[in-house]
Structure 1
Amino acid sequence: MRFDLTDLKLFQRVAESGSITAGAAHAHLALASASARIRGMEDTLGVPLLVRGRRGVEPTAAGRTLLHHARLITQQMERMRADLGEYASGLKGHVRVLSNTSALTEFLPDVLAAFMAAHPHVNVDLEERLSTDIVQAMRDRLADIGIVTDAVDSSGLETRLFKEDRLVLAVGLAHPLAKGVRRSGALPFSACVEYDFIGLAGDSALQQYIGEQGLRLGHRLRYRVRLRSFDAICRMVASGNGLAVLPESAAVRSRDAANLKVVRLTDPWARRRLLLCMQSYAKLPGYARELADALAAPQP
């Protein structure tokens, strides 16, 4: 199967416009040339890609599949063109980092701010994902650096310690669960799962991780509200509207910390080590190695 970018862009424009004539015009091709290219694609695949009618054309099931992939490929080409164009304006490097929620919200901002201030010609593309997804992406060479918990299997990747990360239970002082727990006490997660929770909004990797722990205990956690920051979650918990599982640093840092009980969870999954993972530190570009060094360095 041999399609070039002109074929894919032409097919996309024909399918989106519903007309071979209009698609050819958008692709800056003569109608005869465009029609020949479409027929050549159909002959190569052995299936029709378009249903032709008096009102124009529309993609077949195979054509819709091709359209989906054509869009992905052209979008990736545009992104590559934009990324490469940045080098002409003085950019010297681009590092892609995948991170779980805790590292992204609690630990990365200060380290990245210092690194980027010291490296003004390096861009960092940072994306939140689940640790399991990050490990697979790193094995597939889709990023330069990943930050994951030590609970996932990172075999085959080079790892370095990034941070210690303990998950705790935040409980409002008026909550029924708070009455039987000392401020410095600890509980198993199983003692909490029947209460209402406050969680992070959106497709948060941390929220998915916590939800998985509830399901392992046979409970789907009930969320009264989902908010966009740990500080907002702590304020809601302090008002007595639910419990929250969040990084200990976020609970302690909250301006409502005085109105919370921070209870350590006894479950092994709640005490985590965050690891940097890489395909090969030695094979990273110099600026990516410098970022890995900055992330692995002890932080005050």
Structure 2
Amino acid sequence: MRFDITDLRLFIQVAEAGSITAGAERSNIALSAASARISGMEAELGVPLLERQRIGVRVTEAGHALLHHARTIDRQFARMKGELDEFAFGLKGHVRLFTNTNAETGMLPDILAAFLLDHPAVNIDLQEHLSEEIIQALLEGIADIGVLATGTIPEGLESFSIGSDRLVLICTPSHALAGRGSIEFSEVLDQDFIGLHEEAAMQAFLAETAAHLGRRMRFRMRLRGFDGVCRMVERGIGVAIVPLSSADFFRRFLRLAVVPLADSWAERHLKICCKDAAELPPQGRKLVQFLALRATTDTQPTR
């Protein structure tokens, strides 16, 4: 196929605007040239991408397939340009690191800070996602390295164990649940919760787990980070589920009771994952090695 990035970006604009005319205007391309480019793409593929209607256009099934890939390529192209532009300012490396909530709020900040201090010419693009989304991003080449909590790593990825964390319930010391040695997730679903924002990977996981039990978590308030969550819990506004590492940190200066969740999934085994550590860019390999050295568990790769 002889498409270029201009063709793909034009198609995205036409599809989103529902009109070749509007798409051409958004792309700063003459209407005749835009029509010729779209027709050329259809001729190259041998299938219609747009259904011309009396007013505007409708994207065909083939067009939707192309649109998905075009958006992915456009994002990757923009990321590539951004990373290369940074070399003009002395940057020597850029690592795309996807992580789950546990690692992002627990072990990673201190480790990444130490790494960046040792490597001042490296930039890290850190994004929070569900573990399943991280695996897909690694397989598709969208992420360089992933830190996630999952039991099964699919074929095609290497993984290194870097430790574990457990999800726990936190509440005030006077709360009725404070004296429990452990508790099942299903037992606390009638409580008022303080939680993270809906897009947080850990929050999405908990909501899905509750849904499998035929229940819903009832939130009194959502915040952006565990600092605010723990402070609200200390004031008696509700209970919360957080990683033990976060609970241990905040109860140094907040009055919190911690009750471990007894569910098997509450034990979160953290792993570094990548497609092939040997094929990562140099700074990516250094970050994997740095994370592995800071871990307290086995760091041998598994396939």
Aligned-pair CA distance for 1:186 = 1.8
The AA in structure 2 aligned to 1:229 is G
Q: 2:110 maps to what in 1?
A: 110
SS in 2 for 1:147: strand
Counting aligned pairs with the same residue, the percent is: 45
Deviations 1:146-189 (A, max 9, x none): 111143445542222222212111011333333xx25xx22222
Matches within 5 A, 1:25-44: 26-27=28-29, 33-44=33-44
Aligned-pair CA distance for 1:143 = 1.9
For structure 2, list consecutive stretches of 5 or more residues without a partner in the other structure: 297-303
User: For the residues of structure 2 that align with 1:5 and 1:282, how far apart are their CA atoms?
Assistant: 30
Q: 1:61 maps to what in 2?
A: 59
SS in 2 for 1:225: strand
| Among 223, 226, 230, the residue aligned to 1:230 | 226
Matches within 5 A, 1:89-108: 89-108=89-108
Q: 1:164 maps to what in 2?
A: 164
1:106–1:250: 8 Å Cα contact kept in structure 2? Answer: yes
1:174–1:240: 8 Å Cα contact kept in structure 2? Answer: no
C-alpha change, 1:196 and 1:49, in structure 2 (3 Å) is same
The AA in structure 2 aligned to 1:61 is V
TM-score (norm 1): 0.81
Residues 1:243 and 2:245 are matched in the alignment: no
Q: Superposition RMSD on alpha carbons, in Å?
A: 3.3
For structure 1, list consecutive stretches of 5 or more residues without a partner in the other structure: none
Higher alpha-carbon deviation: 120-129 or 8-17: 8-17
Residues 1:286 and 2:282 are matched in the alignment: yes
SS in 2 for 1:293: helix
Residues 1:121 and 2:117 are matched in the alignment: no
User: For the residues of structure 1 that align with 2:77 and 2:22, how far apart are their CA atoms?
Assistant: 23
Residues 1:268 and 2:269 are matched in the alignment: no
TM-score (norm 2): 0.81
User: For the residues of structure 2 that align with 1:191 and 1:237, how far apart are their CA atoms?
Assistant: 18
Q: 1:194 maps to what in 2?
A: 190
Q: 2:21 maps to what in 1?
A: 19
User: For the residues of structure 1 that align with 2:238 and 2:171, how far apart are their CA atoms?
Assistant: 7
**How many residues were matched structurally?**
291
User: For the residues of structure 1 that align with 2:190 and 2:160, how far apart are their CA atoms?
Assistant: 37
Deviations 1:38-68 (A, max 9, x none): 4434555554747587xxx733334984677
Query: In terms of Rg, which structure is larger?
Result: 1
